[in-house]
Structure formats: C-alpha cells, structure tokens
Structure 1
Amino acid sequence: MAGMHTLFGEETWAKLQDDPAVSALMAQPDMKAKLDDLRRDPKTLATHIADPRMMQIFSALARQSGAGGPSVAASFDAAAARAAPSTSSDAPPAAGDAARPPPPPEEEEDPAAAAKRKSDEAKATGNAAYKARKYDEALAAYTTAVELNADNLAALINRAAVKLDQGDYAAAEADCRAAIEANKERHLRADFKLIARAHGRIGTSRLRAGDLPGAITAFESSLVEFNDPKINEQLLTTRRALKKQEEEAYISPELSAAAREEGNTAFRVKDFPAAIKCYSEAIKRNPTDPVAYSNRAAAYTKLGEFPMAMKDCEACLAIDGKYMKAWSRKGAIHFFMKEYHKCLDVYQQGLAIDPTSKEMRDGLMKTQRAVAERQNEGGVDESTAKAAMQDPEIQSILSDPLINNMLQQMESDPTYAAKAMQDPVIGAKINKLIAAGVLRTG
C-alpha cells in the first residue's frame, strides 16, 4: 500500500492541516489518532474507512490532487480495493467488528416466575371486579389466578369471599379449607393474618348456614392465628345467639309446671336446696313464669340468701308487677335485713296496687312496730346506721342543706322536730331517716 504513504507524506499532511474544510477534523484527537494509525499502517484502512470523517479527508486530498498534486483518486481507489475486506463467507471479521462485543441475548423469563406474575395480575383483576360487585368476573379472575399458581392462597381465599356473597357457603368453606391445608402440607408459611382470614370466612359460612357451633369453632381458630377485633365481636355475638337458641329450644311450659311442682314438694319438706334446683329448672323451661321466680325467692329466703331472693322478687315483678306474693316476699326480705325504710316503701307500693291485701297491711304494721321499738331502745345502732348510710337514697337526704339545717336545730331544740314534721316533704324524709335507723327522736 505504497499509495497510502504518498497520500500522507509530509507535504500532503501539512496541506491538510491548512485546509479550512478539514483542519477542524484534523484537530479532533480521535481522528488524529486514526490518521496516524493509517500513516503507520495503510492496512488499517478497512478499520477506519467506515468513519464519514475519513471520507471528508480523502475528498480534501482529491481537491488538492486536482490542483496539481498526485492523483489522490487513483491512489485512494487502489488502496481501498486492496484494503477492502473479502466478501467470501469464510473471510475473517474486520478488526473493528472483532473488537465490538455482540449484543447480549435477551433473557427469557423463568416459567414459574411468569406464572406467578400472571397469577398476581389475575388476582388484582379479581379484586377490582369484587369491589365493583361484579361477582362473576371476580370469580373467573380468581380461578385463573389459582390455576396459574396453586400457591396463591390469597386468590383462593378471596374466591371464597365471592362465593360467600353468592350464597354458596359450602364452596366458600371448601376454598378456605383448601388454602389452610395447602399452607400446612406444602409449608408455604403464609402470613398468619391470611390464614386467620380463611378461618374467619369459614366461620361466616357456618354462621350464614345456621350452624352456630361450627361458626364459633371457626372464629376461635381464627383468633388463635390473629386477634382481630372484628372476629372477636363476631364470636361474642354468635355465642350469645347460640345461648338464646338453646334456651328457646329448651322451653316447655308443660315441663316447667312439672318442675315447679317438684320444687313445691321439696319446699314443703324443707329441702330448700332441692327446691331451688327444681325452681331453676322450671325457670329455664319457661322464663316468663312469674310463679317460679317468686317460689325460688322464698326458698332462698329460708336459706338466708337475701340478695339472691331479692333478685328473684324483682325478676318476678318485672314479668307481673301485680303479683302480690312477690311484693310480700320482697318486703319480708328487707325486714329480715332490718332495712325498715325500704320495707315500708315496698308495703306501701303493694297496698297502692291492692289496698285489700292482708299481707301488705300486716307487713306494714309489723314494720312500723319494729321502727317504734328501735326508737324506744334509745341511741342509734352504729352497725345499722353504717349500713343505711350506703343507701343512695339516705345519702341524698343527708346531703340536702335544708335537712342538715333542720337536724342541727333539732339538736338544740327537740320540739322543733314536731314543727318540721308538719311539712309533708320534710316529714317523709325525716321518717325515712328514722326508719333507716340513722335518726332517733324523743
């Protein structure tokens, strides 16, 4: 390639550097390096010939050749022909091509990863459809998600939610149980909240199907996984519903009457614990029977269980406010507890309902005598007064400024009590304090 040496001789090189058309190119470091490479070894033309700037350089040389210099065109054509790479199939690649690395092959997505991605996309589609209440579309999307990835338990449990709303409770439970078993058998280590949700939806399926015990078991299993307040509330509500259901199923007025009669027999022979047991059975069989409550109150009273007896009297009167035996027994309980002020109220209320009731009149007179006897004993019994002071009604009376002022005047002037008693409102409050054992007059 002697022509290349002629083309880039010292004289030619100097002319190129002075040529305005290419002087800027000659100053570019990478271009200068290529030209130096070409001057040293013309065989490198095949490497550099593709650079458009190289063509501009040879065009400038051609102009100079036309001006009287050597025949650049002829030398360039010959050099290019000798430097051109062979087009045969077995020709080695050009030096530049060999230096350029081939583009990396596109990585193919792992089939399992692709299936998981598509499954998640299908689940997202199902979620959007479910929120829009498009249940058929949601069901199809969740099914696709599960088919693409059997480990997508969230899609399986979400599909159960769709089936719940469609009323297919058995299918909803089947999906939830499948998710729970898959997590256990394949050791998927799913989020405990997700497994709790599966148990919760089984509970909802059982609840809507009317299986309250099954719902309770499922809700309890859900709370073992995660203490969700909503599930906790559902569990409490279901337990109350089951209790009510069992109580209603147990009701039988006929069996209640039979149990009550057994209680009466036990009461007559003074077997009060047995009587209480029978009366309790009667109440369970018929919670709206006032007689069973009243009779059990009498048995509790015989055993000195006054709070329990009082509770039964109040339950009886809540059913039948005119059941006079309950009023009488309530008054007797207060009498036994020496709560005479409450006792007087009970008998007066009973007489307001039935003025002809001998039990009410006798109880009232008996209580009035007891209050008078306590007054005549002198002084105030400290234990009785202390117990009475716990009564909110007595506390309210004693906190009345008017009553306090009157009590102070009674201490200095005992005759003032008679004057104060003339006022019906004040008189009632004073009598209440006297009956309670808090105040002694005379």
Structure 2
Amino acid sequence: MSTTADEFKAQGNKHFSAKEFPQAIEFFTKAIEASEVPNHVLYSNRSGSYASLKNFKNALEDAEECVKINGSWAKGYNRVGAAQFGLGNLEDAKKAYEKALELDANNAMAKEGIKSVENAIQSRNAKPDLGLGSMFSDPNLITNLRNNPKTSEFMKDPALVQKLVNFQTNPQGANPTEFLSDPRLMQIMGVLMGIDLNMPDPDIPAPAGAKIPKPEETAKAPESKSESEPTPKETTKAPEPTVDPEADPEDVVMEEPEAEESVDNKAKADEAKAQGNTLYKQRKFDEAIKAYDEAWNLHKDITYLNNRAAAEFEKGDYDAAIKTCEQAIDQGRELRADYKIVAKSFARLGNTYLKKGDLQSAVKNFDKSLTEHRTPDVLNKLRSTQREIKINEANAYVDPEKAEAARLEGKEYFSKGDWPNAVKAYTEMIKRAPEDARGYSNRAAALAKLLSFPDAVDDCNKAIEKDPTFIRAYIRKANAQLALKEYSHVMETLTEAREKNLSLGEGKNVNEIDQLYNKAASQRFQAIEGESPEETMERVSRDPEIVQILQDPVMQGILGQARENPAALQDHMRNPEVSKKINMLIAAGVIRTR
C-alpha cells in the first residue's frame, strides 16, 4: 500500500514537534511529491522547517510557492515575512506582513512581525554608521549576498566581489564616491540596510565588464547554487520559533495563535449547541442539525460538527455523518483542535462505517482515533471489529463439500504414511468445516504419528468440545497422554470415556478402553529395572494418589468389608467413583485378584 500525502505530512509534523527539522523537511518533501494537487499547507510547513534551520533562502522559496497556490491565506504571507526578515530584507518583510493583515485584520503574527521589523529598523538607524560597519564585518557577507535574489547576479562579477572583500578588510579606507558611482554597490547597501534604494540614472557608466540589471531583473535574478545557508544580520535577527508539541507546523514557526473570535459569537454558538443537544435528546434530529450548523457558523469549534454527525448517525443518514466527520477532521487540523476532540471525530467515523457494515474502514478509523488519543472504549471497539472480521472471513470459507474432499485426501495421505500432508489436508478440512469433530480427531492421529503428542492432545480436546460423545477422540487423547507418561491423566480420560460409553448404551469400545487403562496402570506401577518386589511395593505405597485412597474412611470401610466377604466388592464396583479407586489399587498391586 502506497503512503499518502497526509501520512507523510503527519510524520513531518511529528519530527517538527520534536525539533528534528531535517527529518521534517524530508517528510514534507515526500508529502509534496505524493500530493495529487499542489497543497499550500505543505509548502508552508516546509518553509517553517527551513526557517527553523536558519535556511531563509529555501524558506522564502517555499513561502512564495505557498502564496502562489493560495493567495488568500494570510499565514502564507507570514511565512514570506519571516523568511525576508531572516534574509535581512526588512522592507520586503514588512510588506508581506502588511499583506497578511489585509487578508486577516486580526492576524496576531502579522502584527507582531511588523513590530519586530520596525524595531530592527529603529535599532539599525540609531547607530552612527546606520549599522553598515557591523554589516560589512559579517564573515558570511559574501555568501549571504550570493544567496539573496536581489544581489546574486552582481556577485558573479569577481571585481565587485574583490571591492567588497577590500572594504571588509579596511572599512576606513573605503571611497564613498565609489559607492555612489556604482549602482550595484548602492543596491548591496540597501539590501544590508533592509531597504530598497532607488537605482541611479542608467546612463551613469558602470565599471568595465559590469552588468547593471534593471530593477525588475534584480527582483527576478537567478539564485546562486551555493549550498551555504545565510546567517541573519545582528540587527535583523529573526525571532526564534516557539514550538507547540500539539500544533501543526504551519501554526508554529514564528507565529502566535490567531486572535480569538468575539466572546459574543462564542457565547451564541454555545447557546445554539445547547439548543441542539436538547433537540437531539428529543430525537428531533433535523432541528438539532440546524442548531449545530448555526453554532458552527458562529464559531469554528469542531465539537459542533461532531454533534451534528451524531445527529445524522441517529437519523440514519450515514453518508452525511461520514462527510461531517471528515469535515471535522480536516477543520480540526486547520484549527489546531485538541487531539482528544479529533480522536472523537475518528471514533464517530469508525462507528458510522461499522453501522454500514464496512468493517475494514471502521478498523482503519478506530486505529486513527487511538493514534490521536487512546481510550478503552475505542480500543475495545477496534478489537471487537477485528475479531468480527476474522469470524466473517472464517465463515465465508466454510464449505461442507470441500471439507469432505479434504477429509478423503487426508485419509489417503494417512494410509500412505505421509503424515505431514495428512496434517495439512485435515487442517483444510477443519477450516472448511470447523464444527465437525472428525477433522480435529483425524489431525490428532496424524500429529501423534509425527510424535507431536501435546498438539494431538489439544486437537482431541477440541474434538470432544465439538462432540462430547465422540469416543474415538477420548481414546486418541489417552494414547497421546500415555506417550507423554501422564498416567493419571490417561486413567481420568479413559474413565470419562467409559462413562460416556455406558450412557450411550454402546459396548463396542469397552474392551479397547479397559486394555488401554490396564496398560497405563501397569506402566505407572511396574517395577523399575533392578528393583525388588518389596522395593516396588514400598515405592507404590508412597504414591500420593494411592495414599489418598487408602486414607479415605469410606474406602477403608469398603476394603475391610471385602476382606470378610470378597463378593461384596463387586457390589461396590457399581459406583463409578469407587470403581475407579478400586481399579487403581488393583493396578498398584495393593488388591490382588485371582
């Protein structure tokens, strides 16, 4: 499955919040490439990431692309202003912030940006040399001028570059006439001062070999390919970004939260919401939807959209509820809504898809809800839906005819001694007919041939669960337990098999059950090699189960009675529990029969 632009963007946001700006740039770039249509927010996010790394040249490129895509988005011009500020272009930065205010008169970031620009200009003008001395002493001067679109073309002239190097080396020896006579130097001074100086008359001769671009050429001068990143001047240092770990980058770098709407609008919106809640409880869903719409139009809070989706859900208009939830999620991202509220939007979207029977979409949205905010209720719904998907898939696979074909195939493999393929065929039978006990029992027989006795026991237990009267499953289970030398368990299994057999009135398995029982008892209490009969009896007498039987007051009475009248023992053997204990004593050699 290919990664979507939104998923790349989410990764970029995560790295941005962690101040991992290079990684944020990488993912925002991938998001831009994956986006089907140009997305101004993605360019804004990447611009903010570049600005955080003080790479204002690339930040400006992305910011200008952002406003090119969406010229009515005030935040895009804030990005332009921040990048121009970082480059030291104070006048252009101010124009960008003013444009943001034209689009959004309450834009707090634009107001703060203008204030910062004006303070920088005032600080610069307060110095006797207008700050030029410190500007020309900047060790990154040449690199910065090559990266600045307004001066990059000039810096291709080696003679001009040498003049600037000389001025850096000896500022006191600079010739003012030379600055006034070369319009390129005048333009460079303007850039360093953060203002646009009018170009002199184009008829003024320039130094040999120098190209004097027209003003419009200067604005569109090609950018240098230098990899170096500019460092902002001391007097025009851009403000540091303030990172809110829950916010999207377009609202973070060098921005403050947008101005809140009027208190009156918020109060009216909440009043409309309360009215909607009342109508919702009265099951007047159409009227409730109108009230929630009114609240949303008064104040942008996605809680109102979530409520509207709930009303649409209860009304049975699931397509409308889905559309509203998707709107809430999109608007929530834009408005930097609390992640818990966005999580509710995803959860409601999941519930709606669940109601429509689209379980895969329900799982997808429950998972996204948990990514935003983990709650037990949504987690339980996710797991429940996943289980339902598995059950549906298993039920869709059931086919009695194909199950019988798999059984016959397994039988053929078994008769040939091909145990692995027999297991495979019986497994297919189980999938095709999960309620047929024969599939589990047959697979247990094949597993036993592969010496996988614990798995054979498990399959027999499943077969008995499906059909408690399936005597063959008991016998196969006892054989597997015998191989594991679990003698007491063998006897318990066979005792249960004998009782089931008697209740069914069948006697065909009695001999097999008794023989297997005696075999288990014999192996349990048989003499160990090199052990004398006395030592064997001593060891058997210490067996916990034998000790427990002999200490049972009821059994003591029965055994005492049997000593005086051996025939009475047969009457007691009719009691299944007593019969089990007497057979145990016989197997251990405590009671001897002739």
State the TM-score, normalized to the length of structure 1: 0.62
> Residues 179-194 of structure 1: matches in 2 within 5 Å?
179-184=328-333, 186=334, 188-194=335-341
Aligned to 1:362: 512
Q: Does 1:174 align with 2:347?
A: no
Alignment-mate amino acid for residue 316 of structure 1: A
Q: What is the CA–CA distance in structure 1 between the aligned matches of 2:448 and 2:439, rounded to whole Å?
A: 14
Question: What CA deviation, in whole Å up to 9, does each residue of 1:90-132 have, x standing for no partner?
Answer: xxxxxxxxxxxxxxxxxxxx97444333222212221222123
1:180-232 C-alpha deviation (Å, 9 max, x unpaired)? 11222x2x332222111111100110000001111112112212222222222
Q: Give me the whole-angstrom Cα distance separating, in 2, the residues matched to 1:395 and 1:327.
A: 24
Give the SS at the match of 2:417.
coil
**Residue 263 in 1 paired to residue 414 in 2?**
no
Residues 1:152 and 2:314 aligned together: no
The AA in structure 2 aligned to 1:131 is K
Higher deviation after alignment, 344-353 or 152-161: 344-353
- The CA deviation at 1:251 is 0.8
CA shift at 1:405, angstroms?
A: 6.4
Match among 106, 122, 131 for residue 272 of structure 2: 122
Q: Name the CA shift for 1:123/1:380 in 2 (closer, same or farther; >3 Å).
A: farther
Change (3 A) 1:314 1:373: closer
Aligned-pair CA distance for 1:240: 2.2
Residue 317 of structure 1: CA displacement?
3.4
**Distance (whole Å) between structure 1 residues aligned to residue 346 and residue 542 of structure 2:** 58
Distance 2:540 2:452 in 1: 20
Residue 269 of structure 1: how far off its partner (Å)? 2.9
* Deviates most, 428-437 or 317-326: 428-437
Q: CA 1:279/1:373 → structure 2, altered by over 3 Å: closer, same or farther?
A: closer
CA distance 1:125–1:351, shift in 2 (3 Å): closer
Contact 2:521–2:584 (8 Å) recurs in 1 = no
Read off the aligned partner of 1:246 and give its amino acid letter.
E
Residues 1:134 and 2:284 are matched in the alignment: yes
Q: Are 2:495 and 1:348 equivalent residues in the alignment?
A: no
- What SS class does the counterpart of residue 357 from structure 2 fall into? coil
Amino acid at match of 1:124: A
Seen in structure 2, the aligned counterparts of structure 1 residues 375 and 230 have a Cα distance that, compared at 3 Å, is closer
CA contact (8 A) 1:375 1:441 kept: no
C-alpha change, 1:269 and 1:191, in structure 2 (3 Å) is same
Q: Which runs of 5+ in 1 are unaligned?
A: 1-109
Mapped pair 1:303 → 2:450: yes
Question: 351, 354, 368: which one pairs with 1:204?
Answer: 351
Secondary structure of residue in 2 paired with 1:270 = coil
Which residue is equivalent to 1:293?
Answer: 440
Structure 1 residues 215 and 343: CA distance shift in structure 2, 3 A: closer
Q: Classify 1:112/1:369 alpha carbon distance in 2 versus 1 (closer, same or farther; 3 Å).
A: closer
The 1:395/1:194 distance shift into structure 2, 3 A limit, reads farther
Contact 1:420/1:427 (<8 A) preserved = no
Mapped partners of 1:292, 1:197: distance in 2: 45
Q: Distance in 2 between matches of 1:395 and 1:177?
A: 71
Q: Which amino acid counterpart does residue 302 of structure 2 have in structure 1?
A: L
Which structure ranks higher in relative contact order (CA pairs < 8 Å, sequence separation ≥ 6)?
A: 2
The structure with the greater share of residues assigned to helix is: 1
The residue type paired with residue 182 of structure 1 is: Q
Change (3 A) 1:152 1:362: closer
Distance, in Å, in 1 between the alignment partners of 2:526 and 2:283 is 82
Quote the residue 1:431 is aligned against: 582
Displacement of 1:375? 4.8
CA RMSD of aligned residues (A): 3.7
Q: Contact 1:328–1:360 (CA<8 Å) still a contact in 2?
A: no
**What is the percent sequence identity of the aligned residues?**
32
Question: For residues 329 and 126 of structure 1, do their structure 2 counterparts lie closer, same or farther at Cα, with a shift above 3 Å needed?
Answer: same
**8 Å Cα contact 2:460/2:476 also seen in 1:** yes
CA contact (8 A) 2:350 2:362 kept: yes
Question: Structure 2 residue aligned with 1:328, among 459, 475, 491?
Answer: 475
Pair 1:283 & 2:283 matched: no
Q: Distance in 2 between matches of 1:384 and 1:290?
A: 40
Partner Cα separation in structure 1 for residue 313 and residue 546 of structure 2: 58
- Within a 5 Å distance, the mapping from 1:104-119 to structure 2 comes to 112-119=262-269
Aligned residue identity for 2:324: D
Q: Residues 120 and 145 of structure 1 are in contact (CA less than 8 Å); yes or no, is this contact kept in structure 2?
A: yes
Match of 1:230 among 357, 365, 377: 377
Question: Contact (CA 8 Å) 1:334, 1:342: kept in 2 or not?
Answer: no
| Structure 1 CA distance for aligned equivalents of residues 293 and 269 of structure 2 | 9
Cα distance, 1:129–1:344 mapped onto 2, change above 3 Å:
closer
- The one-letter code matched in structure 2 to 1:121 is E
Contact kept in structure 2, 1:331 and 1:363, CA below 8 Å: no
Quote the offset at 1:328 in angstroms.
3.2
Counterpart selection for 1:313 from 460, 465, 474: 460
Asked if 2 retains the 8 angstrom alpha-carbon contact of 1:161 and 1:172, the reply is yes
Q: Is residue 471–residue 501 contact of structure 2 (8 Å, CA) maintained in 1?
A: no
- Judge which range, 326-335 or 217-226, deviates more: 326-335
**Distance of 2:362 and 2:284 partners within structure 1:** 27
Structure 1 pair 374–226 and aligned structure 2 pair: CA distance change class (3 A): closer
**What is the CA distance between 1:400 and its match in structure 2?**
7.1
Superimposed CA distance per residue, residues 320-361 of structure 1 (whole angstroms, 9 cap, x where no aligned partner) = 44444324323433443434522541452354235341x541
Shift of 1:159: 0.3
Q: Which residue of 2 aligns with 1:83?
A: none
The count of residues paired between Structure 1 and Structure 2 equals: 319
TM-aligned CA deviation for residue 417 of structure 1? 12
Secondary structure of the corresponding residue to residue 160 of structure 1 = helix
> Is the radius of gyration larger for structure 1 or structure 2?
1
Superposition map of 1:87-102 within 5 A: none
Task: Check whether the contact 1:169–1:205 (CA below 8 A) recurs between aligned residues.
Answer: yes
Deviations 1:366-412 (A, max 9, x none): 432553576563426979998xx6xxxx59965975269679x99xx
State the distance in 1 between where 2:431 and 2:523 align.
43
Distance 1:195 1:395 in 2: 67
CA distance in 2, matches of 1:134, 1:203: 24
- Mapped to 2, the partners of 1:177 and 1:267 lie a distance apart of 56
Name the CA distance, whole Å, in 2 between partners of 1:246 and 1:343.
35
Q: 1:402 aligns with which of 547, 553, 557?
A: 553
CA contact (8 A) 1:347 1:364 kept: no
| TM-score normalised over the length of structure 2 | 0.47
